[in-house]
Amino acid sequence: MRIDEQVFKPNDIRGIYPTQLNEQFAFMLGQALVHALGSRRLLVGHDSRTSSAPLCAALTEGTRSAGGDVAALGLCPVELVYYVMGCDVRFDMAVMVTASHNPPQFNGFKLVARGVEPISERSGLAVLRRWLLEAPAAAPPAAKALQKTVFPEDDYLRFALSLAGVPQVRSLKVVVDPGNGTGGLLWTGLDDALGIEPIRMNFEPDGRFPAHDPNPALLENLIPLRDRVTVERADIGFAYDGDADRTVAVLTDGHIMDGSEMILALFQHLFEGDQEARCAVSMVTSRKVLDFMRGQGSEPLIVPVGHAKVKSILRRDPHIAFAGEQSGHYFYRQFHCAESSLITTLCLLHMAASSRLEPLVQSLPGPWIAPDREPAFHFERQEDSLAACRSAARRAVEMFPDPLEIMCERDWRVARHCRPADIEQAEAIRVDYRHWWFCVRPSATEPLARLTAEAHTDEDLMQKLGALSALFNTA
Distance (Å, rounded) from C-alpha 437 to C-alpha 452?
Answer: 8
Distance (Å, rounded) from C-alpha 208 to C-alpha 52?
Answer: 11
- With a CB cutoff of 8 Å and minimum separation 6, the contacts of 249 are 236, 237, 238, 239, 256, 257, 262, 348, 357
Residue 313's SS3 state is: helix
Cα 238 from chain centroid (whole Å): 16
Omega into 367 within 30° of 0, i.e. cis? Answer: yes
Q: Which one of 48, 52, 100, 120 is the catalytic residue? A: 100
Q: 240: which strand partners?
A: 247
Q: Is 341 part of the annotated catalytic residue set?
A: no
Distance (Å, rounded) from C-alpha 352 to C-alpha 238?
Answer: 12
Cα 76 from chain centroid (whole Å): 16
Instruction: Give the β-pairing of 320-324 and 278-282.
Output: parallel
Nearest to 185, CA basis, from 217, 152, 233, 210: 152
146, 149, 155, 161: CA torsion to nearest 10 = 0
Distance (Å, rounded) from C-alpha 107 to C-alpha 124?
Answer: 20
Tell me 219's DSSP state. Answer: G
DSSP 331-364: EEGGGTTEE-HHHHHHHHHHHHHTT-HHHHHHTS
User: Strands across the sheet with 199-200, in order?
Assistant: 199-200, 174-177, 236-240, 247-251
| Residue 431 near residue 389, CB atoms below 8 Å | no
Just list the catalytic residues: 100
